[in-house]
Amino acid sequence: MTKAIPNAKSVGLVLSGGGIRGMAHIGLIKAMREHGLEAQVIAGSSVGALVGALYASGIPTEEMLQFFRETPLFKYDFFAINKPGFIDTERYFKIFKGYFPKDSFEVLDKPLYVVATDLLKGEEKVFSQGELIRPLLASAALPPVFSPIEIDKVLYADGGVMNNFPKEYVDDKADFVIGSNVSIAGEIGKRDIRNSILLAGRVTGLMIYASSHRKLEECDLSIEPQELEGIGVLDKKGIEKAFNIGYEYGCRALEASLVLRP
């Protein structure tokens, strides 16, 4: 969906979860900056929360990409011991501290809303103040790969479980909302649901996609690149491809919106 970008209006940016496909968010941000457009408020889940935090810190897009290139997904000494999950998410704290040394929402250049899932109550939780890194780790802790993060005696995991596209947190704070959804669920073949695990994954993906897509359609400007489906959620080899796809889609959407401007 594309509408004309109004002059002198506040802009909100909503970024979905989707693993490595979320590099498309960075491509969109690069396109926005090249077109002289900045968001004033950001909301994100999972990788969308991570990209949103980097953007809210004023970090250049190339450095954002470098963060994901350098952060290991699977490392031998990161494997979890006596924790639910294969990878101990806590081990990433020191890496994140290098990019967010003050570990605080309050030092960000823009308001940021980070969504995580409260595993004990089965509810979504939004973080927007206080410590920053642990909510970011929680929001991106995709089960069962990454262990939950404990904050104030509550276990939190991936925000995409409950709310993969948290548009509602910017609706009353922005006049123009830009959305980027990278959780794609396109057509597949019978072979892709040949066992119970693949079937469960397909059904979960469809539920997340349906919810995200519905809210994406409510945005004033949005991208949802179908080409991202060919990139694995945890495949770091797809970083550059996803970024380029997001950039191309972002440029086209922004140029169309600027043409529509009265």
> In this structure, is residue 3 part of a structural domain?
no
Where do we find the tokens 């926005």? Answer: 32
> In this structure, is residue 245 part of a structural domain?
yes
Q: What is the pLDDT of residues 78-118, one digit of tens each?
A: 776 777 777 889 989 999 999 999 999 999 999 999 999 99
For 146, list phi and psi in degrees, rounded to 5.
Answer: -110, 140
Q: Residue 82: its pLDDT value, please?
A: 73
Q: List own/partner pairs for 202-207 with CB under 8 A and 24 or more apart.
A: none
Please list the alpha-helical segments (H only) found in the chain: 23-34, 47-56, 61-70, 93-99, 133-139, 196-216, 239-260
SS (H, E, C) 115-147: EEEECCCCEEEEECCCCCHHHHHHHCCCCCCEC
Span of 23-37, 59-73, 86-100, 178-192 with lowest mean pLDDT = 178-192
Average pLDDT score over residue span 148-157 = 95
> In this structure, is residue 1 part of a structural domain?
no
Alpha-carbon distance 29 to 52, whole Å?
10
**Candidate list 16, 45, 46, 180, residue with the active-site label:** 46
Q: Tell me the sheet residues that pair with 44.
A: 15, 114
> In this structure, is residue 125 part of a structural domain?
yes
Alpha-carbon distance 244 to 223, whole Å?
13
Question: Is 164 within 8 Å of 16 (Cβ atoms)?
Answer: yes
User: Does 158 qualify as catalytic in the annotation?
Assistant: yes
Average pLDDT score over residue span 4-24 = 87
Peptide bond into 101 cis (omega under 30): no
Alpha-carbon distance 133 to 100, whole Å?
7
> In this structure, is residue 6 part of a structural domain?
no
Instruction: Give the number of domains in the chain.
Output: 1
Token readout for 27 is: 């491509």
Q: Which residues contact 203 (CB under 8 A, 6 or more apart)?
A: none
The CATH number that applies at residue 250 is 3.40.1090.10
Question: Residue 21 sits in which domain range?
Answer: 11-259
> In this structure, is residue 237 part of a structural domain?
yes
Q: Residue 261: its pLDDT value, please?
A: 54
Alpha-carbon distance 97 to 50, whole Å?
13
**Candidate list 16, 45, 147, 158, residue with the active-site label:** 158
> In this structure, is residue 85 part of a structural domain?
yes
Alpha-carbon distance 43 to 114, whole Å?
6
